[in-house]
Amino acid sequence: MSAEPGITIDSRYVITAATILDNQLHIDWADGHHSEFHPTWLRHQCYCETCGTPLNGVRGLRLHHLPDTLEPRLESFAADVVELSWLHDGHRSRYTAEWLRDHCYSAVEHARRKYRPILWDATIMDSCPSADLLECERSPAERLALLEHIRDYGFAYVRNVPGTIDEASRLIEIIGAQRHTHYGNYTLGKKKSVDNVGDTTTALDPHTDESYRTSTVGITVFQVIRPAADGGHSTLVDGFEAVRRLRESAPDEFDLLTRLPITGARFDPAANSGGNSKWYSTTMPMIRVDFDGEVCGIRMNERQIMPLDVPAELIEPAYRAIRHLFEILYDPDLRLTFPLETGEGLIFDNQRVLHGRTEYQAGNPPRSVLTNSVDIEDFHSTLRMLTESLRGKLPPTRLPQGMVR
């Protein structure tokens, strides 16, 4: 492969040798890495016109049409490409060096692709991730920086938000398409009949929202329309850091909470539900770990835990673990407090970061905070599209998937 003058080629993506050994494709790379690719894996990922691609879902290839033992032949290789043919049918497959390296499933490359969030506690208060909505609207780079804050820290504080319901979509659509649920555009504030704790004036302990949904809230967008005269400050806690502390101090309790089925339920009367009463109930663990055993999502709302339905001998250890977890979550050392004014907002990942509120005095006019949300996959989609358009290439990164395995 020859480079244009002045263009440097990343040695990660330069093939120095390619061979077939025991039907596996072996590749040596200019940076010293060695990759091995299984023939079925390679044949399944042939993206030629006949085979199709997984990205558009149009794929003609069917695994059961392939022989049990696939025999690849190395037709040719160069620094930037490998060409194979398949003995049973003569089909030819072509793989670029960049694609092969970005998808190499060796332990080293698997770990490298994994995105690791930055955990935090109360000490980041003075340097917490922030953005300005006007800047984000003007500059795609600023918009990407905001999305990356949410990816890295699970939240961002935002200035210059409209502060009116009419223009609320400006901030929401920076993140992705607004999710519509039975709540509609919900404004938290003191109401005549309180069926939602967000509408009370007492302090609210840190919690995640809507633990009663199978597809729970992804990214929450708070916009302050009118602050309380006194108090009513928003609080945030990094659930991933809390869970790290639990895992460190009580690994057995952590393990139990990754498996223990907890039912979160919610009855919403018609007044809260646009005229249609709703009765939700979902059973899931509080902590989700991925295939690598790493935490990728949490759902924790002490107020919505229904009766445990587990073997009798688990009741005591379960309550001990839940109580210990909430003691960590309510530790002020983990909590950020934001005395938000009109025109300020918070965006946070509801499957990582818990939110709460300090007590306040019901004033006149009353406190009013608009809450909306965007699904995690929609946020990830916005992040991918903007990254690729600004940086030219999407790095091969796997993001935490939230409560979904």
Residues within the interface to Zn ion (CB under 5 A): 46, 48, 51
Using CB under 5 A as the binding rule, whether residue 209 contacts Fe ion is answered as yes
Q: How far apart are the first and last CA of the chain?
A: 40
Rounded to an integer, what distance in angstroms lies between the CA atom of residue 369 and that of residue 232? 10
Where does residue 355 rank: exposed (0-12), middle (13-18), buried (19+ CB within 10 A)?
buried
Per rule CB under 5 A, count of chain residues that contact Fe ion: 1
**C-beta of 50 vs 276, nearer to Zn ion:** 50
Instruction: Output the smallest distance, CB 63 to Zn ion, in A.
Output: 13
From Zn ion, Fe ion, none, interface partner of 51 (C-beta below 5 to 8 A by class): Zn ion
**C-beta of 51 vs 399, nearer to Zn ion:** 51
Instruction: Output the smallest distance, CB 209 to Fe ion, in A.
Output: 4
Instruction: Output the smallest distance, CB 86 to Zn ion, in A.
Output: 9
Rounded to an integer, what distance in angstroms lies between the CA atom of residue 46 and that of residue 91? 10
**C-beta of 48 vs 270, nearer to Zn ion:** 48
Q: Please report, as residue ranges, which positions from 127 to 146 form the binding site for Fe ion (by CB under 5 A).
A: none
Binding segment toward Fe ion, per CB under 5 A, in 167-175, 201-209, 226-234, 263-271: 201-209
**C-beta of 102 vs 209, nearer to Fe ion:** 209
Q: Please report, as residue ranges, which positions from 336 to 365 form the binding site for Fe ion (by CB under 5 A).
A: none
From Zn ion, Fe ion, none, interface partner of 209 (C-beta below 5 to 8 A by class): Fe ion
Two structure tokens written together for 165: 């319901």
Binding segment toward Fe ion, per CB under 5 A, in 170-178, 203-211, 333-341, 390-398: 203-211
Please say whether the beta carbons of 178 and 373 come within 8 A: yes
Instruction: Output the smallest distance, CB 17 to Zn ion, in A.
Output: 24
**C-beta of 199 vs 344, nearer to Fe ion:** 199
Beta carbons within 10 angstroms of residue 383's beta carbon: 20
**C-beta of 128 vs 197, nearer to Fe ion:** 197
From Zn ion, Fe ion, none, interface partner of 221 (C-beta below 5 to 8 A by class): none
SS (H, E, C) the chain: CCCCCCCCCCHHHCEEEEEEECCEEEEEECCCCEEEECHHHHHHCCCCCCCEECCCCEECCCHHHCCCCCCEEEEEEECCEEEEEECCCCCEEEEEHHHHHHHCCCHHHHHHHECCCCCCCHHHHHHCCEEEHHHHHHCHHHHHHHHHHHHHHCEEEEECCCCCHHHCHHHHHHHCCCCCCCCCCEEECCCCCCCCHHHCCCCEEEECCCCCCCCCCCEEEEEEEECCCCECCEEEEEHHHHHHHHHHHCHHHHHHHHHCCEEEEEEECHHHCCCCCEEEEEEECCEEECCCCCEEEECCCHHHECCCCCCHHHHHHHHHHHHHHHHHHCCHHHEEEECCCCCCEEEEECCCEEEEECCECCCCCCCEEEEEEECHHHHHHHHHHHHHHHHCCCCCCECCCCCCC
Instruction: Output the smallest distance, CB 49 to Zn ion, in A.
Output: 8
From Zn ion, Fe ion, none, interface partner of 253 (C-beta below 5 to 8 A by class): none
Using CB under 5 A as the binding rule, whether residue 210 contacts Fe ion is answered as no
Binding segment toward Fe ion, per CB under 5 A, in 72-80, 206-214, 252-260, 346-354: 206-214
Instruction: Output the smallest distance, CB 95 to Zn ion, in A.
Output: 11
Site string for Fe ion, 29-68 (x = CB under 5 A): ----------------------------------------
**C-beta of 95 vs 222, nearer to Fe ion:** 222
Rounded to an integer, what distance in angstroms lies between the CA atom of residue 382 and that of residue 174? 8
Instruction: Output the smallest distance, CB 44 to Fe ion, in A.
Output: 43
Using CB under 5 A as the binding rule, whether residue 268 contacts Fe ion is answered as no
Instruction: Output the smallest distance, CB 82 to Fe ion, in A.
Output: 52
Instruction: Output the smallest distance, CB 67 to Zn ion, in A.
Output: 15
Please say whether the beta carbons of 25 and 42 come within 8 A: yes
**C-beta of 14 vs 369, nearer to Fe ion:** 369
Residue with nearest beta carbon to Fe ion: 209
**C-beta of 304 vs 382, nearer to Fe ion:** 304
Instruction: Output the smallest distance, CB 78 to Fe ion, in A.
Output: 56
**C-beta of 84 vs 346, nearer to Fe ion:** 346
Instruction: Using CB under 5 A, list all residues that contact Fe ion.
Output: 209
